[in-house]
Amino acid sequence: MKKSDCFVEYFDSITDYRQEWKVHHLLEEILFIAVAATIANANSWPHVEEFSRANEEWLRQYLELPYGLPVHDTYERVFDRIDPIQFSKSFITWSDEIAQRSEGAIVAIDGKTSRRSFDNSIGKSPIHIVNAWISTNKIILGQLKTSEKSNEITAIPMLLDMLFLKGCIITIDAMLSKALDNMAYTKLSVMQSWTLKSV
């Protein structure tokens, strides 16, 4: 690794479960490309591969890439094997560090269902994700996966507790705001660290 060492510091706790003798691409380089591509709005593994090929010159300023760029199947296999909780904690710690939060910064809480994340033939349900997006930096500060869309209501307070949001304004859609009303204002009365607004 080159200048991306600061990135690696936050993600080196993630266990690599691949068979060592089959590994060509370093785990930290795969994670770096996937995160960079996601920030650039890639929303599928083929899109991540397309991003890496279009930005190879830039990536090589930060990565060694001794075997070239991974293909989209490699990203999928790696992310199927790593611990999502380890990755989530590492990502949130990293994004907390780089996000320059200021008084009054707007953080949008939003629930989404990942496209093509379900497979009816094997009974695989779609993946529902709750994101915290900071407008100042145009970056996702953190996210949590839920097994059902209805679980967004319980996931949101958990996500907020994982983030440092003192002085921020939290926006959320009206339906979830109503469902969260009791929990949100309990948090407000205890912490007085952020303000909740429905949109």
pTM above 0.85, yes or no: no
What range does the domain containing 135 cover?
99-198
Pick the last residue of a domain from 65, 94, 123.
94
- Return the percentage of the chain with pLDDT > 70, whole number: 69
Helix (H) or strand (E) holding 57: helix 56-59
Per the structure block, which two tokens stand in for 143? 């996210």
Model confidence pLDDT, tens digit, residues 37-88: 887 778 899 999 999 999 999 999 889 999 999 999 999 999 998 998 899 8
Pick the last residue of a domain from 48, 67, 94.
94
Specify whether 112 is located in the same domain as 81. no
pLDDT band, very low/low/confident/very high, at 185 (cuts 50, 70, 90): very low
Domain count, the chain: 2
Specify whether 86 is located in the same domain as 111. no
Residue among 117, 154, 112 at smallest CA distance from 133: 112
Specify whether 132 is located in the same domain as 165. yes
Specify whether 108 is located in the same domain as 182. yes
Q: According to the model, what pLDDT value does residue 148 have? A: 61
Q: Residues 183, 117, 83, 77: what is their CA dihedral angle, to the nearest 10 degrees?
A: -170
DSSP state of 70: P
Specify whether 110 is located in the same domain as 158. yes
